[in-house]
Chains A and B, each alone.
Chain A
Amino acid sequence: MTTVYVPGDAAACSVGADDVAAALAAAGADVRRNGSRGLLWAEPLVEVVTEAGRVGYANVTADQAADLLAGQVPPSSGSDWWRSTPGWRASNA
């Protein structure tokens, strides 16, 4: 089972982190709620635990949950400059 971290603080929840967490849980992930890393513009910032460490996905929406777990969403892709950085990682586990 894939372990994912979804922030549970007020800022993340204000932009839908609860919905994302519920969608990821429904899609079969082991969801852990953590604090935000402070990258509030990237919330909901989901971290997926992989062999190489945690991989960050920014601005995740609930309807992306299944694709994200299936590896169909490229990490941190998107229109913002920092999100287009290939393989951007929120941290290493």
Chain B
Amino acid sequence: MTTSDTGPTAGPAAERAALVRAVAEQHVDARGPLLPILHDLTEDLGHLEAEDLALVADVLNVSRAEVHGVVSFYHDFRTTPPAEHRVVLCRGEACQAVGAQELYELTRERRAELGRDVEVEQVFCLGNCALGPSGTVDGRLHGRLDASALTRLTAGWRR
């Protein structure tokens, strides 16, 4: 497959395709190039689209199915644009033993109250088990979370 087979030759889609191809080609000679490529693309673009994955497969000379398999296996690789803000709550056993389940359900319910464009997701263990319920708020780790702590940590999102 040549570049001209993969979509428009001008405009944002073509720019994106060129970036994806460039990133993939940077890593193509590495051992196990797929994960570094996906990490870099996620960092640059925020999420991965089907067209991106087809290009990566093309550069690495692997099937699209193989790339899709890796992307869908790891939850931190996303195929939809991320929300403006992100709360990720731990639902591992240690946090669950100190109320993470209730906190997760409550936070999901009041997601709209936290801000206009907020995602509430779950994760299974952040390694902060002694200080549960744990979670990340826009990527920063917090322990001993409860509803009021989340309200305080997200205060800036409602201004």
- B141 neighbours in A (Cβ, 8 Å): 10, 13-14
Bound CA span A43–B131, Å: 9
A27 at the interface (CB under 8 A from B): no
Segment 1-60 of A: residues with Cβ below 8 Å from B: 10-11, 13-15, 40-41, 43
Check A11 against B144 for contact (C-beta < 8 Å). no
The bracket for how many chain B residues form the interface is under 10
A15 to B146, CA, bound (A): 12
B85 at interface by CB-CB < 8 Å? no
For the complex, give the distance between the alpha carbons of A15 and B133 in Å: 11
- CB neighbours (8 Å) of A10 from chain B are 127-128, 141
A-B pair count, CB < 8 Å, reads 25
Q: Interface residues of B: mostly helix, strand, loop or mixed? A: loop
Report how far A41 CA is from B131 CA in the complex, Å: 7
Complex formed: what's the CA distance from A44 to B126 in Å? 19
Q: Please give, as numbers and ranges, the residues of chain A lying within 8 Å of B143 by CB-CB distance.
A: 11, 14-15, 43
Report the bound CA distance from A85 to B128 in whole Å: 26
A81, B142: Cα distance in complex, Å? 25
> What is the bound-complex CA distance between A13 and B143, given in angstroms?
9
Nearest chain A residue, comparing its CB with the CB of B144: A15
| Structural contact, A40 and B130, CB atoms closer than 8 A | yes
A11 to B144, CA, bound (A): 10
Q: A14-B128, A15-B144, A41-B131 given; name 7 further pairs at CB < 8 Å.
A: A10-B141, A11-B128, A11-B131, A13-B141, A14-B142, A14-B143, A41-B130
Q: Which residues of A contact B (CB under 8 A)?
A: 10-11, 13-15, 40-41, 43
- 8 intermolecular pairs with C-beta atoms under 8 Å apart: A10-B127, A11-B128, A13-B141, A14-B131, A14-B141, A14-B144, A41-B131, A43-B143
